[in-house]
Every structure is written in C-alpha cells, then in structure tokens.
Structure 1
Amino acid sequence: MWSLVRSLNLRSSLVAPPSSWGPSLSCTGRSCHRTSAHGADSALNFSDGRVFRLKSHWEVVRGLLIFRMCSFPSLVKNSEKLMAVSRRLLGRRLFEWGMRGTVYGQFVAGESLPEIQASMERLRKLGIRPMLAVPIEEDLGEGKAGERWYEQNEAIMMNCVDLSSLGGDRPMMQLKITALMSADLCKVLSMCLSDPSRRKELSPHRIVSIMEGKDARFSFLSEQQNQHLQSSVRRLSRVGKHAVQKQVRVLVDAEYTYMNPALGVVTMAMMAQCNRKEPWIWNTYQCYLKDSFRNLSQELDTAVALGLCFGVKLVRGAYMDKERKLAKVKGYPDPIQPDWEATNRSYNGCLDKLLDLIGREGERYNLIIASHNEESVLHAVRRMKELGIDKHSRAVCFGQLLGMCDHVSLTLGQAGYLVYKSIPYGSVDSVLPYLVRRAQENQSVLQGIRKERDLLHEEWRRRLLGRS
C-alpha cells in the first residue's frame, strides 16, 4: 500500500485523466451495437447474456470458476484457513501468483498505479465508472499501533482521493471511518448518543467546532479518548476538504450497529463542512435494519435544518449474521428486518422517498442505488421515468461490486445509466483479509449468483461452439 502512496506522490501530476466517460463501446457481432449515452434505451433485460461478449475468454472462465467456488458456503466459511494452508504449501510467490490470477484478479483493481489505472480504463470502455475503496477498517478490540497507524491511513486516504480524481468525470471513492478513528471510541460515542442529554452535547455542530481547531472536551470521555476524538475528526475533516478540492465525492460506509450512531454524527459534521453547495460527502443507509427509514428521515431533516445538500448510498446491508448473534448474546432486540420481504419493503420505501426528493431538487439530493438486486434496480428505473428524472442528470446512479453482478452493471452502462463499480486496491496481503471478511458477511449474496454464473456458462458455450 505504501508503495502506491509513494508512486502517487511522484507521478500523479504526470498522469492525464482519461477521456470523458460514456458507454461508447459495445461488443462486436451481429447482435451487439454501439449505444449512445444520449439515446433512448429500450427495456432493460438482465437475462440477456450478450453483454458478456464484452469480456475476454479468461474473464469468462475465471468468473465461472470463482462463482462455482463461492456457491459452497463451507468453502467460503473456511476460506481464511484454506488460504493459510495454501500459502504454506506453495510459498509466498507462487501463492500470490495464483491469487492474482484468480480471486484477487476478479475482485481487486491491482496494487501499483499502472495496474489500477488499467483497471479503471477497462471499466471506462465498458461505460462503467470506478469507485475506489481502500480495504482498511477496524473492529472492536483490534486497536492498532496508536495514532501513528491512523495517521498513516490518512495519508493513504488522501492518495485515494488523488487517484480517484484521475478517474474521469464525477469521480467517487469510499471511506471507512474506522480507518481514521478507533472502533472502540465509535462504540463509546454511540452508547453516549443513546442518552438524550449527551446526544445534545455530541451534536454535529460541536464536532465541527473540534474539526475547526477548538479544543472542546467531553466530560464522559477520558483524557486519552478526548485527544483521540480530536485527532480523528480533524483527520476526517482534512480528507473531506481535500476531496472537495479535487472534486471527488466521498461515500462514507456504514459499519456495525454498535458504531453507526457515532459514524452518523461524524459524517453529518463532515457534510456541514463540505455540503453547502453540492453533496460531496454521502452517508450509507442499511435497509436490512428495522430503523433504517427512521434514521434516514431524521438525518434528512437535520440536513435541511442545517441548509446542507445530501448524498445517500442505499444498501441492503452486509453484517446480518453477526448482528443477529450479537443481539442474542447481549440480550437486546434483533435490529435486522424479520425476512427478505420486509427488507425489500424497507429498501423500496427509502428509495422512493429519495427519488421523490430528487425529482423536485436533484441538485441538492443525490443517490447511488448500491444493489445487486435486479428488482430494486428495475424499480428505480421505473420510478425515475415516472418522476421525470433524466438518467443523464447525474443525480441518480447505480453501484455494484467489482467482479460481481456484471450482467446488471454492463446492461445499465450500455443503456447510458451512471454505473459505478466498488473496486478495492492494494497488495495481496492487505486485500485478502478484507475479501475474506466481505465474502463471509455476504454469503447470501454469494449464494445468489447462480444467474450470473449461468449466463457466463451460456456465453462460454457460445464461444466454444463458434456461434455469433
């Protein structure tokens, strides 16, 4: 990771940004054609595997292999152990070579600056935009080597801003608060926010004053916690301001429920600093939580009261199993929706609320529909048409993970919608633990990739048989 930071420092001023974005490329063959970014698109069809003609032979084979592996829950559950054994048996170099050709190559942009830029350029040619994500995070009890670790992460995040700015028009990046602020402190602050008297004291306005240099202290925090809070929110402030300067939108990730209240307050403070004229800082809302619609509505009201623009990344959520286990162990109510249908209602309710706002004030409200669910995507497209939201207005976009749900991403991109791929980057050693954690937290998503696997298989058969 640090080799990339040094490379960016030396080379960012020498690299010209790619040409303007747009779905200018389509596949060859009688069934495919060039799609204008400004033309009217026909009904979206996510069951048409012809979009996979845009992929190379190896990309099709690799996708088939990996999706087949991911369909076995026991394999995903024990992936960390299996990788450790493979590393011992193969040695570091051979293990890394194998990973780069398979799992790492499927889901990661690369490590060096040229590798990452090449990945971004490949996406651009497909009508898809990159949304860079540094795979750094912290959970409870994982406290690193003091402030120095967070300061190093700040430098990495600053360079992620710089790299994102090379990605063409309207660049975005993801940010995990726990890369710059202790997860343990986030939990303490979240607990304090459950107390009405302390909630008033821990307001976005108070956090902004600390960001701007005031030496404010909270009586319910220790001296060490107060110092870390001040250092952390100032790091976040610097990253946010640098992103505005570089014209990069920062999408703050949601994490676990025991940290999210603190993340919400800190993110609102970043918005208060940066979102006066445009929504540069966005927050994430997990619709598998029972209180997601209420939280979204409350924070929308807060943004309106503060005169802020508001950006939202709307997701279903990724930590269901752990959240439910924690609720059972700790004896508090399960925060997760009771079933899939309730989650869908929650997602569509939040989606409709935001689209209604965008239909009236698309300059002040922005949304990324970060979903692999085809019905949610189609629902959003229908609502956009009903509300007269132009897909070229850039107020609404779509997002999926790199290496997954390409039949949706490519179809949207070729139809002229704004589509982003979340792309982690870094060394094999730094990214694999992140990928393992995401895979284990998203097993329900991984088990639902049968359709994409079948479409890839159909495409591979077409190539083997030489069909047009």
Structure 2
Amino acid sequence: MDNRNEFVDFSDTETAFASKSLKELKKSLWLFKMMNKETLVDIATACARWAIKWHIPFTKTVIKSTIFDQFVGGETLQESEQAIEKLWKSRILSVLDYGAEGKSSEKDLDAACDQFVRSVLFAAASEGVPVVSIKVSALAQNDLLEKVQARDKLTTAEQDRYSRVQERVNRICNQAYETGMKIFIDAEESWIQEPIDRMVEDMMERYNKERVVVYQTFQMYRKDRLPYLQRLFHIAREKQYVLGAKLVRGAYMEKERDRAL
C-alpha cells in the first residue's frame, strides 16, 4: 500500500483503533482513567514493587493483564510477533523497543547489544516492523556517559569501556544498514546526552549516505534542541549525508526539573 500521497488524519479514531475490539477499548479507557489518579498510581506502584520483591503469588499475572498488556507487546520477540501481526492486519506498523536499561556489567551490556541485533534481524523479516529503537544507556554505564559529558579525564580502563560502547552502537547500526532496516536512537537525560549526540552524528555520517538508516531523537522541551536540529541539518548537507530526525516532546521532564532544583 502506497501512502506517500496521503495525509494522516489524527482525528480518524475509527482507523486508528481498527485493530482494537470494543472490549479492549473499554479496558484501555478504564486503565487510563485509573492512571490519571496520581495517588492511586503512587500506591499501586509501591504495592507492585513490594509484591515483586517478595514474590507474592499472581503478581506477574495481574501486571501482565493490565499495564503490561496495554503498553508491552511481549517479553520476547516471539511473544511480540502476535501483537505485531495483529496490528499489521490493520496496516499499523510497529517499532521494536527492547527494554534493557540499568545494566552495568560488560557481560550484560554485550548481551543487550546481542538482543538489539536479534531485534534488527527479526524486524527485517517482518513486513510490519520498519524500525528498531535503541537506547545507548542500555549499552553503557550511565556514570561513564556522565563522566564523558563532563569531560573528566578517563582512566585507561574507562577509555576501553567507552570504546566498547561505540563498538556496540556501530554493530547495531551496521546490522540495520546491511538488512535495509532503520534505527531510532532515543534521546536521554541532558546530563548524558552529549556523548550520545556525538555517537549518533558519527553513525548518521557513516550509514546515511544514500538513505536514512539512523535517526537522531530530539526532545523538544529542551530549548537548545531546535538550534541543535538546525545546526545538524547544515552539518548533514556539508558532509553529504541524509539527516534522520525524530521529534518528540521528551520523557524526562520530571527528572530534569528535580535535578535543576
């Protein structure tokens, strides 16, 4: 289906929710109403963490049938396949996003990289998945990214670790290039964003010569992001590569505000 000459009508809810049954829509409406109650969310979150910590029976079942079912396609690529196929029947595309933040050992970071590569290969074989989303924080220790951004002197061991981060990012982007896929590299907290920006720029210069393979994400609640987008547009023209830009509101407003106080 060729949609290049069609406009997306965001008010067309019939098309937007074509893949959902009436029962599923009512469940989603109820869930979002509950999520609008801040006190209830705080209590439920605390209870869920406590229940998970103490391995309370049926905790996983409750979570998977509510929050998980609404926001997550599956725990594995194979589990996600059913959700992807269901959406694709209504011509709705999916973005694969592997959640692996907070890891710290090199073994775990390498494993996350392996999983992202598997996601790219999986997506390449699926008509309904044109892009895979990755987070650099899933491939690096945050304290290392903070140190790089602060321009602190790195030890030899830290330099080696940072080189491995760059190698992981390159490996994933290269796999996307080789298989005709696309990569969204997510924006993150402002105190680790600069090294991520540099890595994304390097990847775009390397792989976006003929088409967009790598997309930079711009969190537009940051007042410096529009000038950065404009500057990057000119850099891409000068270096003769295609700029991939994903514009989002941003996901870290509360953390950014708390850190600024």
The question of a shared fold, defined as TM-score above 0.5 by the shorter chain, is answered with yes
Match of 2:249 among 316, 326, 330: 316
In 2, distance between residues paired with 1:303 and 1:65? 46
Gaps of 5+ in 1: 1-21, 23-35, 193-218, 329-468
Correspondence list, 1:184-199, <5 A: 184-192=143-151
Matched, 1:264 2:197: yes
**Matches of 2:220 and 2:138, distance apart in 1:** 23
Equivalent-residue separation in structure 1 for 2:19 and 2:129 (angstroms): 24
Shift of 1:258: 0.5
2:104/2:140 contact within 8 Å kept? no
Task: Please state if 1:126 is matched with 2:85.
Answer: no
Distance 1:77 1:299 in 2: 40
Alignment of 1:327-406 (within 5 A): 327-328=260-261
The question of whether the paired residues in 2 share the 8 Å contact of 1:170 and 1:249 is answered with no
Count residues with an aligned counterpart.
261
Instruction: Determine the structure 2 residue equivalent to 1:63.
Output: 28
| 1:156 and 2:121 correspond | no
Higher relative contact order (CA 8 A, sep 6+): 1
Paired residue secondary structure (2:244): strand
1:114 is displaced (CA, Å) by 3.8
> Per-residue displacement from partner, 1:273-313 (whole Å, max 9, x unpaired)?
21111110110001101111111112222222222111111
Structure 1 length as normaliser, TM-score? 0.52
Q: Does 1:144 align with 2:104?
A: yes
Asked if the contact 2:124–2:180 (Cα under 8 Å) also holds between the matched residues in 1, the reply is yes
Q: Distance in 2 between matches of 1:53 and 1:270?
A: 37
| CA 235–276 in structure 1, closer or farther in 2 if over 3 Å, else same | same
Distance 1:222 1:119, change over 3 A: same
CA distance in 2, matches of 1:327, 1:188: 18
Match of 1:370 in 2: none
The answer for the alignment partner of 1:307 in structure 2 is: 240
Match of 2:64 among 95, 100, 108: 100
Alignment-mate amino acid for residue 126 of structure 2: G
Residue by residue over 1:235-276, the C-alpha shift from the partner in whole angstroms, topping out at 9 and shown as x without a partner, is 111111011111110000000001111110011111122111
Secondary structure class of the residue paired with 2:95: strand
Partner of 1:280: 213
The runs of 5 or more residues in structure 2 that have no matched partner are none
1:235-254 paired onto structure 2 within 5 Å: 235-254=168-187
Q: Which amino acid aligns with 1:144?
A: S
Q: Relative to 1, partners in 2 of residues 1:245 and 1:88: Cα closer, same or farther, differing over 3 Å? A: closer
- CA deviation vs aligned residue, 1:108-163 (integer Å, no higher than 9, x gap): 1112444211111111112210101011123xxxx622x11111111111111112
Residue 49 of structure 1: how far off its partner (Å): 5.6
Equivalence for 1:167: 126
In 1, the alpha carbon distance for the partners of 2:19 and 2:133 equals 27
CA shift digits 1:162-220 (9 cap, x unpaired): 1221231671010101111221121122222xxxxxxxxxxxxxxxxxxxxxxxxxx93
- Corresponding residue to 1:232 among 162, 165, 169: 165
Contact kept? 1:131, 1:174, Cα under 8 Å: yes
Contact 2:18 2:90 in 1 (8 A): no
Residues 130, 167 of structure 1: 8 Å contact kept? no
Secondary structure in structure 2 of the residue aligned to 1:129:
coil
- Report the secondary structure of 1:282's partner residue: strand
Q: Equivalents in 2 of 1:302, 1:243: separation in Å?
A: 23
In structure 1, how many angstroms separate the alpha carbons of the residues matched to 2:75 and 2:228? 37
Residues 334-382 of structure 1 deviation map (CA, whole Å, 9 limit, x = unaligned): xxxxxxxxxxxxxxxxxxxxxxxxxxxxxxxxxxxxxxxxxxxxxxxxx
- Tell me if 1:296 matches 2:229: yes
CA RMSD of aligned residues (A): 2.6
**Residues of 2 paired with 1:270 and 1:52: CA distance?**
35
What letter is aligned with 1:179? A
- In the alignment, is the contact (CA less than 8 A) between 2:123 and 2:129 conserved in 1? no
Tell me the amino acid that sits aligned with residue 11 of structure 2: F
Matching residue of 2:39: 74
Bigger CA radius of gyration: 1
Could you say what secondary structure the match of 2:183 adopts? strand
Query: What's the TM-score once normalised by structure 2's chain length?
Result: 0.90
For 1:302 and 1:50, locate their aligned partners in 2 and report how far apart those are by CA, in whole Å. 39
Distance 2:141 2:170 in 1: 16
- The CA deviation string for residues 224-243 of structure 1, in whole angstroms up to 9 with x for no partner, is 11110111111111111011
